[in-house]
Chain A
Amino acid sequence: MKLPSFRLRITLFSVGLAGIALVGLGAVSWWQIYHVTLSRLDAQIFNLLMYVKGPRKLDPTELYEEERWKQYADLLPNLLGANTEVEIALLVVDPEGNSIYQSPEIIKNRNLYHLLTNQLALTKLSPRISPNKILGQKFSPPPPPTLFYTESTTRGNWRIGTIRLRTIGIGMAVNQQVVRQEMATISSIFLISIPGVLLSIAVGAWLLSKRALRPIDRLSSTIQQVRATGLDRRILTDQIDREFVELIQVFNQMLERLERSFKQASRFSGDAAHELKTPLTILQGELERTLQQVPPGSEIQQRLGNLLDLISHLNNIVRKLLLFSLADAGQMSLYLVEVDVSELLCQMLEDVEMQAPHLTLRTNIPQELKIKGARDLLMQVLQSLFNNAVKYNLASGWIAIDAEQTNKKLQVMIANASKEIPVSDRNRLFDRFYRGDPACTRKVEGVGLGLSLAREIVRAHHGELTLTSAVSGETSFTIILPIIENA
């Protein structure tokens, strides 16, 4: 399975990790800030409640109680230091529980009234303290018991604080909207800053991983240059991070081993060629000489002739095997000349006509189809295809040659009438030493290297040789060769 880009994964991973950390951190701090804000609100309410006790003596006016409380209630938002839209409810009751003052919020919201009275009922009586003492003394006495808690009504959550003195009980409820506003500001700061930080982490990780992967890039570009002919390439370890030096050293060692074994393989083909061809040359030379010295047509000359034929057969096999070993080592170097494919094809057709006059020939060969290639090898390719077309033809069959040149390619199709090739055999046709069904090819001589070698040769020319017959009762091979300019 192919994994998605490593860089992408690194980036996503760091962003994910940082994101989780930031969101967690944000949530915790949001929670903390919420509580701090709430306690601040509590402290403010407490202060206000404490302040309430004072006005009577500090400001002994002739106003009615209710009027005085109303003034006080109007002051409250300012005293709270928040904007005026904060809803504050104030309930003042006498010790018997009859209300002295109700702020408009309570009148509007009876729920609130019940909440406050219930809460007041639960509140303990404050110890008697004179306000002077609270304000003036160094050692403050314990503050009067005040209860704070949050209660929700249809109009939002209220923070409720109550105090009970000897003469009055006061309940105050502040809509938590004020807290919510503050928290909303913090949330929006988080919402902007967290994605911002994540984005910069993503960019950073992307750039960093690119930097980190640079030695890998260099490695892969070198590997791309390594083919059978470029095995002498090495990667320099001069300007490479210490972590990658080992990898590159291992890679270089691998290249070295590969180069050595390739050289060995190609030297093997050279050595084998020498070792096999020297005795073959001697045998052939001696036989040729003896053949001329014996009486023409004598039995011994016939035998010598047969031996000579066998040697040339052997020679042919050795030659092909050596070509294979070169092709496998990627060292089939080609001596490129201009080859007139049309002319080659016509010559082959002439041979076919001589070999098998009973076959019908259908040809479509334009003049002057030229290509840069190794002449002998290309001739060999065409010859083995023609050989097959003749060998595996039907009694009164046909051969069709179709050559054409398109923009950058030369295409030659060689088709012939034939028996059906079983599907299982079709794929094996190009295998080395493969010769089809032994029962039906016994009468046909050959080694079974022709097609396979032909394909190697065509590949060495950067072309392709394929079996293309689609119709039954017909076999056709197609060669496609690129036309290389100034190769």
Chain B
Amino acid sequence: MNVLLVEDEAKIAEFVRAGLKERGFIVDYSGNGDEGYLLALDNEYDVIVLDIMVPGRDGLSILKQLRRQGSNTPVILLTARNELDDRLAGLNLGADDYIAKPFFVEELVARIHAVIRRSVGERQNFLLVGSLKLDRITREVTCDRQAIELTTREFNLLEYLMRSPGRVFTRTQILGSVWGYDFNPNTNVVDVCIQRIRKKIDPIDQEGWIESIRGVGYRFRQPDVRL
């Protein structure tokens, strides 16, 4: 999948590019708004990731002009400013999603997948790891075709981990994504929730799906590690 990244801060661009490449995206990059706009006009991208504050044309005006040209390429805005204003402006101008700095590449990847799915009008939306299947639309989880009842938080947490099997997430990272910005960081709610999920999805005779990383957090086991 082709992604255009317009971001002036070289170091941010670097780790975003690296992170996207790791996950199999082909990334074109520009640090300048005017150049980025020309790239967007000349090439076909699956998704465009636009920083709002870039030299030259700023992100919002690139978006505005692309939409005026009739381009429907999904656009995700990166913003450092207050999330309220920019989101308002961005969504009104036809952005598909927006993500506030600082962000985790994991989060960006998830959003990219989501907007692409939306743009191609995918009806079915599964996460499949081994025998565990998570349906994002019906919000059902099945293990070996057996339905598993999860609460909202449990489902969201499982989805978050299943999105990137093999990656380590800290408790705070999980808390921030699943519970939101302002959750008391010293609670053990993540551990409690993980325990509950484990009880529901883990087969008795085998190793569990969710692995604890001592002193750090958790990761979802990759199937090949398991097999």
- CB neighbours (8 Å) of B18 from chain A are 289
Given contacts A301-B168, A351-B189, contact A289 B15 (CB under 8 A): yes
Q: Which of B181, B184, B187 contacts A380 (CB 8 A)?
A: B181
When C-beta atoms are compared, the residue in chain A nearest to B212 turns out to be: A297
- CB neighbours (8 Å) of B200 from chain A are none
> Are the C-beta atoms of B185 and A284 separated by less than 8 Å?
no
Given contacts A273-B80, A351-B189, contact A280 B101 (CB under 8 A): yes
- CB neighbours (8 Å) of A299 from chain B are 215
> Are the C-beta atoms of A273 and B213 separated by less than 8 Å?
no
Measured between alpha carbons, how far is A255 from B90 in the docked complex, in Å? 30
B69 at the interface (CB under 8 A from A): no
- Most chain B CB neighbours (cut-off 10 Å) among A280, A319, A355, A380: A355
Residue-wise interface mask of A (267-307) relative to B, using a CB-CB cutoff of 8 A (1 in contact, 0 not): 00110011001101111111011011000110101101100
> Are the C-beta atoms of B189 and A380 separated by less than 8 Å?
no
A405 at the interface (CB under 8 A from B): no
B33 CB to closest chain A CB (Å) equals 15
- CB neighbours (8 Å) of A379 from chain B are 180, 182
- CB neighbours (8 Å) of B185 from chain A are 309, 312-313, 445
Report the number of A-B residue pairs with Cβ-Cβ less than 8 Å: 156
B130 at the interface (CB under 8 A from A): no
When C-beta atoms are compared, the residue in chain A nearest to B102 turns out to be: A281
Q: Which of B84, B104, B105 contacts A374 (CB 8 A)?
A: B84
Q: Which of A282, A335, A350 contacts B152 (CB 8 A)?
A: A350
- CB neighbours (8 Å) of B103 from chain A are 281, 284
Measured between alpha carbons, how far is A410 from B213 in the docked complex, in Å? 44
Given contacts A280-B102, A282-B12, A347-B153, contact A274 B53 (CB under 8 A): yes
Given contacts A285-B15, A289-B15, contact A380 B180 (CB under 8 A): yes
When C-beta atoms are compared, the residue in chain A nearest to B153 turns out to be: A350
B93 CB to closest chain A CB (Å) equals 14
A70 at the interface (CB under 8 A from B): no
Chain A, interface size category, equals 35 or more
B207 at the interface (CB under 8 A from A): no
Given contacts A274-B53, A284-B102, contact A387 B82 (CB under 8 A): no
A92 at the interface (CB under 8 A from B): no
> Are the C-beta atoms of A315 and B15 separated by less than 8 Å?
no
B128 CB to closest chain A CB (Å) equals 22
B173 at the interface (CB under 8 A from A): yes
Q: Which of B53, B87, B168 contacts A291 (CB 8 A)?
A: B168
Given contacts A280-B101, A374-B84, contact A355 B213 (CB under 8 A): no
Instruction: Label chain A's interface by main secondary structure.
Output: helix
> Which A396-418 residues have C-beta < 8 A from chain B?
none
B100 CB to closest chain A CB (Å) equals 8
B11 at the interface (CB under 8 A from A): yes
B122 at the interface (CB under 8 A from A): no
Given contacts A286-B11, A308-B172, A308-B173, contact A277 B101 (CB under 8 A): yes
> Are the C-beta atoms of A284 and B183 separated by less than 8 Å?
no
A432 CB to closest chain B CB (Å) equals 15
Measured between alpha carbons, how far is A351 from B184 in the docked complex, in Å? 11
When C-beta atoms are compared, the residue in chain A nearest to B186 turns out to be: A445
- Most chain B CB neighbours (cut-off 10 Å) among A299, A304, A332, A335: A335
B85 at the interface (CB under 8 A from A): yes
A371 at the interface (CB under 8 A from B): no
When C-beta atoms are compared, the residue in chain B nearest to A285 turns out to be: B15
A323 at the interface (CB under 8 A from B): yes
A126 at the interface (CB under 8 A from B): no
A321 CB to closest chain B CB (Å) equals 11
Measured between alpha carbons, how far is A335 from B214 in the docked complex, in Å? 40
Given contacts A281-B102, A335-B88, 9 further A-B contacts (CB under 8 A): A269-B82, A284-B102, A285-B104, A288-B15, A296-B168, A308-B173, A383-B179, A384-B182, A387-B182
- A-B pairs, 10 with minimum CB distance: A302-B215, A281-B102, A285-B15, A305-B216, A277-B80, A309-B172, A354-B192, A387-B184, A284-B102, A281-B101
Residues of chain A touching chain B, judged by Cβ–Cβ distance below 8 Å, are: 269-270, 273-274, 277-278, 280-286, 288-289, 291-292, 296-297, 299, 301-302, 304-305, 308-309, 311-313, 315-316, 319, 322-323, 326, 331-335, 347, 350-351, 354-355, 374, 376-377, 379-380, 383-384, 387, 390-391, 445-446, 450
Some 25 contacts from A to B, beta carbons below 8 A apart, are: A277-B101, A280-B102, A281-B103, A286-B11, A288-B104, A289-B18, A291-B168, A296-B168, A296-B211, A296-B213, A301-B215, A301-B216, A302-B214, A302-B215, A305-B168, A305-B215, A305-B216, A312-B173, A334-B84, A351-B189, A376-B180, A379-B180, A380-B182, A383-B180, A383-B182
Residues of chain B touching chain A, judged by Cβ–Cβ distance below 8 Å, are: 9, 11-12, 15-16, 18-19, 53, 80-85, 87-88, 91, 101-106, 151-153, 167-168, 170-173, 176, 179-189, 192-193, 196, 211, 213-217, 219
